Amino acid sequence: MLVLAKVIHYLCFSVGIGGGGAAMLAGIRAKAAPGEAVPLLRGIQKTLGRISFVAIVLLWLTGVYMVYAIKGGWGGLNAFFWLKIAAVLVLTGASLTAQYFTLTASKRNPATMGPIMAKIGMTASGSAVLALIFAVIAFS
């Protein structure tokens, strides 16, 4: 069961960071795209965001499981583990915010939301990279 949890965890990280990067690229392309292509690119962004959000949920579930399966609980985890958790909390907050804005997009001005969503995407991607770096250090 632990091996399966690790595989799911690593795959979900890959899906999350890859989906985030792809969504940012779709957003960049949408800025310069002809009018008829913009809805398609925004739809791709929305789908990638939802897939990445599901990946984050699965990361939390498998991560908590592995803490108990490997370490027996939260005690005795080093500072880099807690820095990883801080980065994951930022990532989760950014992802939740992006999902909320996406679900309520019809009530928002698209011109003002573009730059905000770009900042949320950069925050999520940066925190994902930090979480990976801290995880490697924490478990080495």
Q: Contact 45/88 with Cβ under 8 angstroms?
A: no
pLDDT at 106: 78
Residue 124: the pLDDT is 95
Q: What is the pLDDT of residue 113?
A: 84
| Residue range 27-52, pLDDT digits in tens | 889 889 998 999 999 899 999 999 99
pLDDT class of 74 with cuts at 50, 70, 90: very high
Percent of the chain with pLDDT over 90: 79
Contact 106, 118 (CB under 8 A): no
**Domains in the chain with CATH codes:** 2-138 (1.20.120)
Kindly state the helix (H) or strand (E) to which residue 1 belongs, with its residue range.
none
pLDDT of 55 above 80: yes
Strand blocks (E) in 35-74: none
- Would you call 106 exposed, middle or buried from its count of C-beta atoms within 10 A (0-12, 13-18, 19+)? exposed
Q: How confident is the prediction for the chain on average, in pLDDT?
A: 93
